[in-house]
Amino acid sequence: MTHAPISAASGNTENGGAALRGANASRTLHLPLATGGLESYTVSQPRDFTRSAKVPFNRIAYSAVHVVADPRKTQDPWLDCAIDWDATMAFRRHIWGLGLGVAEAMDTAQRGMGVDWPSSLELIRRSIDAQKDFPGALLASGAGTDHLAPEAARSIDDVVRAYEEQIEAIEALGGRIILMASRALARVARSPDDYHRVYDRILSQVAQPVIIHWLGEMFDPALAGYWGNADHLLAMDAAVAAINRNATKVDGVKVSLLDKDKEIRMRRQLVPQVKMYTGDDFNYPELIAGDAQGFSHALLGIFDAIAPAASSALGALAAGDMATYQSILEPTVPLSRHIFRAPTRFYKSGVVFMAYLNGHQNHFTMIGGQQSTRSILHLSELFRLADRAGLLADPELACARMRHTLALHGVE
C-alpha cells in the first residue's frame, strides 16, 4: 500500500469527526522538540512490506543482529552480560523468515561494548543450531581478538594466536567466519606489513572463505589507522593487496566507512571473485543497486531495524522493479542516518529501540546500560522517522511503548 503522509497536527480530524478522533486517540502522543516544547504527533498506517513474488534475491544480504538483554537477572548491568536467549534467538528466526542472512556476534550485537567472547561463542553456538530449522539460510559469525585486551598484546604473534583461538572455536561448531578488525592489532602494528603478516597467516589456515570486516574509526575509535595508515585511501591500498593476494580464502569484504565513494573505489579494485558487502548505513540503497561497473551485496546493521522493508525491497530489485525498490528504501535512509549519527558507536541503542517499538522484545534495556547513550530527543526523532518510513508495524503498540519511554524521561 502507499504510505500516507504524516500529519503532526493535533487530532488530525478534518475528515471523520468523532469516529476518527477515537481511532486516532491511541495513535497520538506528545513528542518533545529541541526548542523545549511538545508536538502533538499522530502515527500513520504502516506500510505493507509483503513481497509480491517469492523471487530469489539477486544480492546476498546479511543483517548484523542485536542481542536482547535479560533485565531480570541478578547482575551488575554495567559490568555483566545477561542475555535473554529466547528473545535473542526468536529475533534471528524473524530475520531468516524474511529471507535475510544473519551476521552473528558482530558490533551490532555489542561485541566489544558489553558482550564478551564467551557470551559471543555461546551466541554463535545457539545460532548455528537454530539455523538448521531454515534450510539454505545464511549465517556467518564474527571472529576477532576481543578476549585479548589491547594493552596486553605485546606482539603480532599475540594477535595471531588470539585470532586462531576464536576461529578454531567457531569452525569446530561448523560456523563460517567473518574476520573482524582487531583493536589489539591496531595497537601493536607499526606498518602495513604487520597487517599483511597477520592476515596472510590467518587466511592461510581458515577452513572456508571468510568475510573480512574493515570497521572504521567512526564505529570504534580504537580502530583508527587500521591497515597501517590514517589516510583511508592509503589504508585501502594495503587492504586490497592483502585481500587480492589471498582471494581464494576471501568470500568478500565488508567496508564500514560511511563513504560511498571510498567503497566504490575499493569495490572496483577487488579481483572479480571477491565480493563487496556494503556496511554503509548512510548510502546502502545506491550501493546495493550498483552501477554499470558493479554493485555491493549487503551486510548491514540497519537491516536489523528495517528488516521487513529490506526484504521487500530486495525482492523488488530481483524482480527488476527498481521504482518499488527505491520507494521502499529511500524513506529508510533518514532513519538510518539518524540512528548512525555521531557518535556512531552508539547506534546500537537505536537498533534495539526499534526492536522494542515493534514488539520483538518487551523492554528497552541493553547490555552494559547502553540504552542510556541516546537522549529522549534522539529517540523521539527516531520514532518520527520510523513512522515516515512506514516501519512501525503496530502503531498502537509503538505509541504505548513510546509513551512509557517518554514518561521515564519526564515527558507526559
Q: Model confidence at 52, in pLDDT bands (50, 70, 90)?
A: low
CA distances, 160 to each of 156, 210, 242 (Å): 6, 16, 15
Q: Please name the residues in contact with 17: beta carbons below 8 A apart, sequence gap of 6 or more.
A: none
- The residue among 61, 136, 143 whose CA lies nearest residue 102 is 61
**What DSSP string runs through 60-87?**
-EEEE----B-TTSSS-TTT---B-HHH
pLDDT tens by residue, 195-253: 999 999 999 999 999 999 999 999 999 999 999 999 999 999 999 999 999 999 999 99
Res. 327: pLDDT tops 80: yes
Q: Which fold has domain 61-332?
A: TIM Barrel (3.20.20)
Res. 9: pLDDT tops 50: no
| Residue 343 preceded by cis peptide, ω within 30 | yes
Res. 378: pLDDT tops 90: yes
Q: What average pLDDT does range 394-405 have in this prediction?
A: 98
Q: What average pLDDT does range 148-176 have in this prediction?
A: 98
> pLDDT value at position 13?
32
What residue ranges of the chain are covered by domains with CATH 3.20.20.70? 61-332
Place of cell 534522539: 378
Strands 28-32 and 38-42: antiparallel
Query: What pTM was computed for the model?
Result: 0.93
The Cα–Cα gap between 21 and 30 comes to 16
